[in-house]
Amino acid sequence: MRKKCLVLLLLVFQLQLSQAQSFTKDDGGIKATVNGTEISIRLYTPSLVRIIKSPAGKTVIKESLSVIKQPEKTAFTSKQKGDNVSLATGKIKVDLNLKTATITFTTASNLALLPEKAAGTFTSFNDAGNATYTVEQTFSLEKEEAIYGLGQQQSGKLSQRNVKLNMIQGNTDDYVPFFVSTKGYGLFWDNYSPTAFEDKPEGTSFKSDVGDCIDYYFMYGGNIDGTIACMRDLTGQVPMFPLWTYGFWQSKERYKTQDELVGVVKKYRELGVPLDGIIQDWQYWGNNYLWNAMDFLNPEFPNPRKMIGDIHDQHAHLAISIWNSFGPHTLQYREMEPKKMLLNFETWPQSGLEKWPPDMNYPSGVKPYDPYNPEARAIYWKYLKKGLFSLGIDAWWMDSSEPDHLSFKPSDLDEKTYLGSFRKVRNAFPLMTVGGVAQNQRQTSSDKRVYILTRSAFAGQQRYGSNTWSGDVNSSWQSLRNQIPAGLNFTLTGIPYWNSDIGGFFAGAYNRSWNDGSGARNPLFQELYTRWAQFGAFTPMMRSHGTDVPREIYQFGKKGEPVYDAIEKAIHLRYLLLPYIYSTAWTVTNQQSSFMRALAMDFNDKNVQDINNEYMFGKSILVAPIVKAQYTPETIVKTDAESGWNKKDSKDPSKNNIVDFTQTRTTEVYLPGGTSWYDFWTNQQIQGGETGLQNTTLDMIPLYVKAGSILPIGPDVQYATEKKWDELTFRIYKGADGTFTLYEDENDNYNYEKGAFTTISFNWDNTRKTLTIGDRNGSFNGMLNERKFRFVIAKPGVGMGMSNGQAEKEITYSGKKVVIKF
């Protein structure tokens, strides 16, 4: 009996020893092998952990394209209880089940966050001759949990529950495999191949075509802002953009001569309508065989240096179209082709001839380049610098950065890149090509901040000074409705700069359906364009662009006419808000904030979790764009972003009819609970938590300011830097305590990174009705040493709209603390 007991005790001891040795611990985390799967749990910060899973015995060496952060030395504890191993920091706890190989994430106080539903699967896959895997991981989300992000889609959905996405970059869909939860955590699936994301009652999964391992990051920020801060800590912070880029941009497809381009700027100056940016679209290089030559070879642009000088002399800036492919007659093509730096699949343009539709008897021979190759990126910049940057071009419009992939064949993904098959790295194409331009420009000069307008993006692209637009979307009301959730979900991936073509890109049906052939005078398009412009005024970039119908303000009429005046009012409002916008940009750079904010980011109100037609612009202004036609019938225009313009006529029931744009209309708005609000136009105070009807006119969309806000109003200017902010009016919206920090710097260089900037804090004590203006912090060349500040208390029944109202207090501020009692 005694001998049997000793044997039993020995077996128990051996079993315990076996369990104790089933995982290993080092300074960075723990590792274990479970059921043939090697699992690594690596801490990057107390709130951020990386999970790597791979088949046992397979060596995995992976350098992330998105992640630039190195793991911090992080204190943690680990313990084993039965089949469970726990790793805990002061913020999160990670539990690994040594029997099922599943992982569960909780807060340090054991609040459930996210469990894996299964261990993860590895299915053998032949990737262009390389033996690898298709990888999948499934998680379990709570039924009431909302998630956001995953990039930009044109579905009109905000919450990404119960969706299925085929994540491969396209013209109007940008995919970033990262989502945030209303529970305060985020998950980044670090894979660049085509990926299926699916959320259904049975589980939430990522499944990628190619992966040597399952590789994802879990982060807990406590709320959505905190989680986005974790994502930027992991993949890169956001630089400041030049002040002028927050002004109004005019563009179209395309200005055909340099005189036409310069003439647009001149016309805006004559009309007194503010303008800061003008964009030159494609074919300034000449024919399609010279596609993207990055040189002015078109005879209609005979003196580009003078053209750029003429634009600069009018205090405007020029962005120019560059692409990610090259025609066979270009110098870039001829240098890259022998070095196998071009990808062999069909891209835009298909034909060497410019007529539409493409004549495939004359194929263009245009090929995308391989941006994964550092030498190819250097060659790209060499010609860009020589042909355009040296002339004084201010910004880049990087079109087709996904890139265009026409007549898609699965075998195209077998194309070899510097980093393996195109399939393996497909979705990171925009990150690599935008990064190549940004990094090379920074190395060349720090006098001009990098500014890249791009059509596609991937995780980490926020670090490269880029602003992504939503692609060649339709000119329709449904398309306008789709832009709001598209922009919000894009922002919720941690990439804060986004915009869309004001008016939508494809507008030909409005042109052909109108009596004089001028879509800009078609009331259907006029109403849509006006509402889109008002929405655009509250995005990080206000940019007018499209085809078929010209978009310059003077095409829509003249001063004194409702449509013209409404468009002009939206542009002027944008400029009045520049001190608020630029200061918000600093919070994005310095405090990991966001411009466009889904209401769930700021309000603990379940009613707002899936509101897809309202958002906060910065922390103070709620924007409720008009996204349904109020004066004309809605005409849904169907186009194909891949194949081009809609050439069919559409029946226009308002053709030849006069539309009265002066009438007042109403729209429904929900204001989040937990705070009170002020109507921006009338100062009417409204308690949140209810849906109400709001009166609107053609020149006015619903705007609300949150109680406790301090809103700076800038001078009336024709371009962003025309006047210094030596006299600013601050509107104080009482009802709650509030703060605001005014940020200023040298406007267009990187000296702010060396500390050349100032901040002035404003603090409103609602109980004492006292405003405290703090000492000015910092300094920079050209800083105002003394200025006037005017203060207006927003009062119900006393409307201000775009006026400043009657100042209750006015002071001269010289950089020292001031306390003002109201």
Active site residues: 399, 402, 472
Cis peptide, bond prior to residue 55, ω within 30 of zero: no
CA angle, residues 694, 698, 699, in degrees to nearest 5: 95
CB atoms under 10 Å from CB of 334, counted, come to 11
Distance, in Å, from the CA atom of 134 to the CA atom of 132, rounded to the nearest integer, reads 7
Asked if residues 608 and 672 have their Cβ atoms less than 8 Å apart, the reply is: yes
Instruction: Please say whether the beta carbons of 37 and 206 come within 8 A.
Output: no
The DSSP-derived string for 444-471 is: H-SSS---EEES---TTGGGG-EEEE--
Retrieve residue 260's tokens. Answer: 């036409």
Containing 385, the helix (H) or strand (E) segment is helix 374-387
- Residues 711, 620 contacting (CB under 8 angstroms): yes
Distance CA 525, CA 519 (A): 7
Q: 232 to each of 116, 278, 528, 552, how far by Cα in Å?
A: 24, 31, 36, 37
In angstroms, how far is CA 563 from the centroid of its own chain?
29
Q: Are 280 and 316 in contact (CB under 8 A)?
A: no
How many alpha carbons fall within 13 Å on the CB side of residue 410? 3
Distance CA 645, CA 547 (A): 8
**How is residue 45 written in tokens?**
């910060």
Q: How far apart are CA 471 and CA 163, in angstroms?
A: 22
Alpha-carbon distance values, 59 to 2, 39, 132, 726 (Å): 48, 12, 12, 62
In angstroms, the first-to-last Cα distance of the chain is 91
Exposure of 35 by Cβ count < 10 A (0-12 exposed, 13-18 middle, 19+ buried)?
exposed
Strands 317-322, 395-398: pairing kind: parallel
Tokens 């308690």, residue located? 687
Closest to 535 (Cα-Cα) out of 583, 603, 482? 482
Tokens, residue 74: 């992080």
Q: What is the DSSP secondary structure assignment for residue 305, as one 8-state letter?
A: H
DSSP 180-231: EETTSEEEEE---S-EEEEEETTEEEEEES--SSEEEEEEE-SSHHHHHHHH
Q: What angle do CA 359, 365, 368 make, to 5 degrees?
A: 125
**Residue owning tokens 């692409």:** 323
Residue from 179, 167, 160 nearest 231 by CA: 179
Structure tokens that stand for 92 in this block: 């999160």
- Sign of the alpha-carbon dihedral angle for 384, 385, 386, 388: positive
Q: Which of 69, 121, 414 is nearest to 231 (CA)?
A: 69
The residue type found at 250 is Q
Cis preceding-peptide flag for 796 (omega within 30 of 0): no
